[in-house]
Structure 1
Amino acid sequence: MAKPDNREDNAIHLQQHIDHTVANLQEAEDYLDEHASEISADEKQTIEAKNERRKQSIDSFIAEKQDETQQ
């Protein structure tokens, strides 16, 4: 039998995703600041692109969490 759809903790899980993604974003930004003279232009570009995707993910998680808490 299929497991019932329990959505009660979705907002909590989404907040955990937000927190984790923000932490990764901050860690990457700190790395860029601390090692700016040591990293290649390609590595810097890769990290910056990944951070842009992280920012988009954070925005999506926030919107989804708002939808979950309004239901």
Structure 2
Amino acid sequence: MTIHGPGPNDTAKNTERLKKTIRNKEAAEIAMEFADGEELAAIKKKNERREESIDGLRAEILAEAKSRINGYI
């Protein structure tokens, strides 16, 4: 049996995840024009979570950049 531990933190993936999350949020905003009721509420909730994720990813990318500048990474 093989035990899988966490892999290395690939900082390039964070940038791609950020771009993908922003694209998904923008697409959902367009979809909101055609949604109503429960679907509209669900899209709004999901976009709130996306916004939190975007803020977190931006903060993480900045922290990684600062670490690189300071020679930690």
TM-score range, shorter chain: 0.7 to 0.9
SS of the residue 1:49 aligns to: helix
Structure 2 equivalent of residue 63 of structure 1: 59
Aligned-pair identity (%): 30
2:25 corresponds to which residue?
A: 25
Any unmatched runs of 5+ in structure 2?
A: 1-6, 68-73
The answer on 1:14 being equivalent to 2:10 is no
Report the TM-score, using the length of structure 1 for normalisation: 0.77
Question: Paired residues, what number?
Answer: 63
Equivalent of 2:37 in 41, 48, 61: 41
Moved over 6 A (4+): none
Quick one: higher RCO (CA 8 Å, sep 6+), 1 or 2?
A: 1
Length-normalised TM-score, structure 2:
0.75
Distance (whole Å) between structure 2 residues aligned to residue 26 and residue 67 of structure 1: 25
